[in-house]
Amino acid sequence: MSSQLQELFDGAKAGRWLLPSADEPNPVSLARAISGICGTAQRVDDPVADRFRRLIGEPDHLVFVIVDGFGMNFVNTLPEDSFSRSHLALGSRAAFPSSTGPNLFSFGRAEWPGQHGAIGWYVHLAELNARATLFPWVRTKDDVNLTDLGLTGENVWPGIPEPLRFKRDSINFIPSLFSDSVATGALHGRETVVGYEDLPGVIDKVIERIRTASQPTYSHIFWPRVDNVSHEVGTGHPDTLREVAFVDNELGRLSRSLPENAKLVVTADHGHLDMPEQRKFLIEPDDPLTDLLVDAPSGDERILMFHVITGQEDKFTSEFQRRFGEHFLLLSAADVLAAELLGPDGVSEFTLPRLGIFMAIARYDAGMKFRRGSDGTGLTLNAQHGGLTPDEMLVPVIVA
């Protein structure tokens, strides 16, 4: 076992980090439970999914809300009698990386990141031998649309969105800004998606939909604003806490308006961690590290995957650990697989090339970005996620 992998396990044992676990509440098992409630035959034996299903029951109408970034660190800021705290069923561990893409696809495909292949905001695609920013659907280095480069959602995320398997009337309500995106179609099935403009309005739509339904329904809402505001101003800023309180109030209104044969389930894709300026590391285009890489690293600012030029592995390891070993673990791809960081089911054939040679994981509250060209931006986010700290990994499961 490498020293870096041993440190990872030691840190997890000490509680500094939370590793993803199929034996603890997790997004994949929750997705499997929801799929089963919606009439899909369970494809694997999953005791945690069974636990979720007993917790939720068998409602005629199921409303599933994902509040982006609404980790337990935010739930704990709310009053004890708030909707979210008074209906908190249990805490759950996010999938790793603790970022939006990996976790939304874990919900949307009922699979771990190693299987569905969405392993970061930036993903190195073997088809391009370059990094892509998948939610905007562009090649990162020049913003060329991936469709123009011959890629489709099915190429990048093979498989069937779980909602297309459901045996009940299903709608996924997604903000209009990205309701028509390639990623949204790959997550939910384009035919199930309805765009919306604001949270109160979409909650009104869901309430009316259930009140007038003549058959069982599934309604999903994705709300991104807690994440957006946290990134911009940090976790403790009044604007962030106001957004948290606003979401909690609206969820409470939704719950109170549902009939007895409906159930509301709320969770998040990840939490948030503030990043101090002194631990935001910006790598310039002329840095010696960039000469050792095929392209800029994939992943996120707190978890980076490096595709190192063949023959330069030792040099990269030495240079990275000398400069940044105090702030980042540097795991080999073999270490990542041994630790089951991308899930217990291994890594699919199309995911493996996306992993690269090394993965750097922030030890505490550090972040790193490789600037794209001389005019690229620095680390402008005040709070981030992607790593293994409890603030990033712990999310609520609220049932009402």
The series of mean pLDDT values per 10 residues for the chain, 400 residues long, is 95 97 98 97 92 98 98 98 98 98 97 97 95 94 95 96 96 97 96 97 98 97 98 97 98 98 98 94 94 95 97 98 97 97 96 97 95 68 96 98
* DSSP conformational letter for 386: B
Among the residues of 222-330, which ranges form H helices? 225-233, 238-257, 313-324
CA distances from 362 to 118, 130, 305, 331, 371 (A): 20, 23, 12, 11, 18
CA proximity to 243, closest of 69, 386, 118: 69
Ranges for all domains in the chain classified under CATH 3.30.1360.180: 3-12+275-384
Among the residues of the chain, which ranges form H helices? 3-14, 27-37, 47-56, 72-75, 83-86, 100-109, 113-116, 153-156, 182-188, 199-211, 225-233, 238-257, 313-324, 333-338, 352-355, 390-393
For domain 27-274+391-399, which CATH number applies: 3.20.20.70, 3.30.200.20, 3.40.225.10, 3.40.720.10? 3.40.720.10
Q: Say if residues 270 and 93 touch (Cβ distance below 8 Å).
A: no
Q: What CATH number does the domain located at 3-12+275-384 have? A: 3.30.1360.180
Ranges for all domains in the chain classified under CATH 3.40.720.10: 27-274+391-399
| Amino acid 377: pLDDT | 66
Which strand (E) or helix (H) includes residue 166?
A: none
Sign for the CA dihedral angle at 132, 133, 137, 141 comes to negative
* DSSP conformational letter for 293: B
* DSSP conformational letter for 330: E
| Amino acid 339: pLDDT | 97
| Amino acid 380: pLDDT | 81
